[in-house]
Chain A
Amino acid sequence: MSSLTHKIPSYFKVKIDQDLCKKCKRCTTHCSYGVLSFNGEKIVSDDDKCVACNRCVAMCPGKAIRIIENDSYLPPHGNYTRRIRNIIWRQSGDGGVLLSATGNDRPIRVIFDDLLLDACQVTNPSIDPLRETIETKIFFGRKPQKLEFNYNIETPDDISLKTDFSPNFEIDMPIMIGHMSLGSISYNAVMAIYQAVKELNILAGSGEGGLHKDFYEYGPNIITEIASGRFGVDINYLQNAAGIEIKIGQGAKPGHGGHLPGEKVNSLISQTRMIPKGSDALSPYPHHDIYSIEDLAQLIAALKEATRYKVPIGVKIAAVHNSAPIAVGIARGGADFISIDGFRGGTGAAPRIIRDHAGIPIELAIAAVDERLRQENLRDQITLVAGGSVRYSADLIKAIALGADVCMVGMPVLIAMGCRVCQQCFRGLCSWGIATQQEYLVRRLDIDVARNRIINLFHSWNEELKEVLGAMGIDSVESLRSNRDRLRYIGPNPRIAEILGVKHAGE
């Protein structure tokens, strides 16, 4: 009786139009959550298990399936929303820390949406991006503050460069696909991402999952990640990358480690992470060799030594209250790039309490870090990478105008590959073959199709970036960076505009 009275009402209902249903049972094999089955007469659904991933809807040849919200059950309450009640029911049943995936799904106002872009009229004429060159490439790595030359007035022809250069490389768009490890997503998904970034000459992050041998050839477009578990970190991992990032924090779970459950550690994951099959892969919360900026500087220096000063070394932090002084410490600690991940950033698995409530919006973090680095005379030396829900090109453009050099993008890439944002990545049952390691599901993701969709997506973002740059009369994305005068604020809170260093619309 008690299990019945405490049954959580289902979120969704699967409506099967029995007139249209051909009883081919295709939906029952495609549903990886065990919702649909054939009872000998017709297809029936166990709605409690449905996550609205829409795989059955897409696969039904008769278009007989519809998933609708179960809106008939709960008495409405503006404060104890369905979501809050659901959390309480679940926790009082299981007594555990609730897991979640993707990014923060609370309806918190998005600052990007309150920003408007400037455009040229009459003076400073706009540029036609279809006819004129607009540069969207970026040089990634530490830049010298100034150039010094060996020069003698007696021998004016004999001039040489004195300044030492740090390693830099060139990418064609200010875009990096954020760190998603093999483990959090499937082999096919990772392969599609790496092939796409190679084709586009942009970057992708390896995540803390090691680098499978098959991916070595994409190394020139991959930033590998050193996280607290040091999984898969060996000499090949360090020396086959365009750059190396020390992961301190992640926007979806600031201050939290990682936990890949043992059942996901199959032989592929085992080989790549270099851990035994079936064991949990625990990434400790902190790095145990980093308790201070001095310690961080030490690991940066160690990585530079280990790679013989050939690639940029950076540090990723989650956007938290004191990001700006931390970023200054990172820059002074010798990092060539800094990545900041906002509170809406994605994850394959994080405690819901942290995903939904920790960190700050990336817009504010970019502005604060950019401003502080500038005050400390460090801004132009550092490549600033920002992410944490850059959803479409508008967010990309606004993030750059606020002060980012490059944007990390994660969810849009998954959505491009077929993700329906059901937020169940941590269960490893992804019916679209993205966030799963089960062979029969992974096969569903066609690498070529996924790769082309990612290429198309970023091609269109880049074209839109050029359209906006042209309209602003700017011929290079580097001139948009930190150009906050080209933004105006229309939101309800002028204090936000102040922190962003952006004027109100009309000013």
Chain B
Amino acid sequence: MSNNNKIEINAISDENPLDYKTLNEVIHRALSQGKTKIVLNNVCGQRFIGASLQGNIELIINGLPGNDLGIFMDGPRIVVNGNCEDQAGNTMNDGTIIIHGDCGDVIGLSARGGKIYVKKDVGYRVGIHIKEYEHKHPVLIIGGTAKDFLGEYMAGGIIIVLGLKINDDGSVEESNHPICGNELGTGIHRGKILLRTDENLEENLGIGAKLFEITESELKQIDPLLDEYCDAFSIPRELIDRKPFKVVKPISKRPFGGNYCGQIV
């Protein structure tokens, strides 16, 4: 990528953060000038960065992006050098979001495609209602740990939680937080959640979710994803293989089908 296509944008003007509308306007202007690599410096909580952007473009965010990073996004790649607030990748159709830090709640809400890689821990209701469709399979990999309601209503795709503590100096150790909270995969009716742990998670499961041992074909399926993840954060792959994965899958494609009945009145 030649430097002509790159632009740096300062998200602070006269010591005040630009409001989200102005910042997004600047991004759109840069894109309309043919820029394909946009570096945003001093980002400070601005929402909706990358909203509904399409195409082969890259956003590098230095700072802390606000809620709804990459909402409705369809293709671009976003790298966040720092932490991230809630709802990154909301209803994303395609693209990649790489977050070198912690993340808030509801990451990947209703995403239909694309990849979200988080280096550290995430909050509640992460991966809720992510769904797959034809060739689209959203992937969400969390290096650290997650809280309650992980993968709630999940309708496809794959969530992987590694339970590691990846430090900023590049060293990696096992996290001492629980790998996930309660109501794990509650209402799941397609897709799977893989958790790298030897803990028994039966007590954590939500309605409609069931625990399985990982199969050979599943290991094969996640192998390239883990390689890509390790690459993105420059961590050694061997470490991940030291612990087994548990898999959470739906008991049915129709978890609530039996709850209802009709009548002629």
Measuring CB to CB, which residues of chain A are less than 8 angstroms from any residue of chain B?
Answer: 11, 50-51, 83, 86-87, 90-91, 94-100, 105, 229-230, 233-235, 238, 259, 261-262, 270, 274-276, 278-280, 282, 284, 288-289, 298, 301-302, 305-308, 351-352, 423-424, 426-427
Contact = CB atoms under 8 A, between A and B. Distances in A.
B67 interface: yes
B74 A275 contact: no
Contact of A308 (B28, B110, B257): B28
Given A279-B189, A306-B51, A98 B256 contact: no
By Cβ-Cβ distance, the 9 closest A-B pairs, closest first, are A96-B261, A306-B52, A230-B110, A94-B261, A274-B133, A305-B51, A305-B48, A90-B263, A306-B72
Contact of B128 (A288, A305, A426): A288
A494 B52 CA distance: 52
B71 A97 contact: no
B106 A275 contact: no
A86 B54 contact: no
B258 interface: yes
Contacts of A274: 112, 131, 133, 136
A235 B260 CA distance: 34
Contacts of B91: 230, 233
A95 B263 CA distance: 12
Contacts of B254: 261-262, 279-280
Given A305-B20, A306-B52, A280 B265 contact: no
A234 B189 contact: no
Contacts of B263: 86-87, 90, 98-100, 352
Interface in B226-265: 253-265
A97 B106 contact: no
What class of interface size applies to chain B in its complex with A? Answer: 35 or more
Interface in B154-175: 155-156
A261 B257 CA distance: 7
A452 to B, nearest CB: 32
A282 B52 contact: no
A322 to B, nearest CB: 26
B265 A305 contact: no
A97 B261 contact: yes
Contacts of A235: 52, 54, 72, 74, 93
A427 B262 CA distance: 8
Nearest to B91: A230
Given A305-B52, A306-B72, A289 B112 contact: no
A105 B265 CA distance: 10
B21 interface: yes
B108 to A, nearest CB: 11
Contact of A97 (B68, B110, B260): B260
B11 to A, nearest CB: 15
Contacts of B117: none
B97 to A, nearest CB: 16
B74 A234 contact: yes
B68 to A, nearest CB: 5
A403 B176 CA distance: 59
Contacts of A423: 265
Given A235-B93, A274-B133, A302 B51 contact: yes
A234 B112 contact: yes
Given A50-B264, A282-B153, A306-B51, 12 more contacts: A96-B259, A96-B261, A98-B261, A234-B74, A262-B253, A276-B133, A279-B253, A288-B109, A289-B68, A289-B86, A289-B87, A298-B68
A442 to B, nearest CB: 21
A87 B253 contact: no
A230 B106 CA distance: 14
Contacts of B86: 289
A267 to B, nearest CB: 10
B36 interface: no
21 contacts: A11-B264, A83-B265, A86-B263, A91-B261, A94-B261, A99-B262, A229-B110, A234-B72, A238-B52, A275-B155, A279-B190, A280-B189, A282-B129, A284-B187, A289-B86, A301-B48, A302-B47, A305-B20, A305-B51, A306-B51, A351-B260
A351 B262 CA distance: 9
B90 A302 contact: yes
B132 interface: yes
Interface centre among B48, B67, B262 (most CB of A within 10 A): B262
A302 B92 CA distance: 13
A447 B114 CA distance: 38
Contacts of B67: 298
Interface in B83-108: 86-87, 90-91, 93, 106
B131 A302 contact: no
Contacts of A105: 265
Contacts of B93: 234-235
A99 B261 contact: yes
B259 to A, nearest CB: 6
B265 A87 contact: yes
Contacts of A90: 261, 263
A288 B129 contact: yes
A214 to B, nearest CB: 18
A278 B253 contact: yes
B37 interface: no
A55 to B, nearest CB: 15
B147 interface: no
A323 B244 CA distance: 52
B80 to A, nearest CB: 18
A282 B123 CA distance: 23
Contacts of A230: 91, 109-110, 129
Interface centre among B21, B52, B87, B258 (most CB of A within 10 A): B52
Nearest to B94: A234
B153 A301 contact: no
A233 B92 CA distance: 9
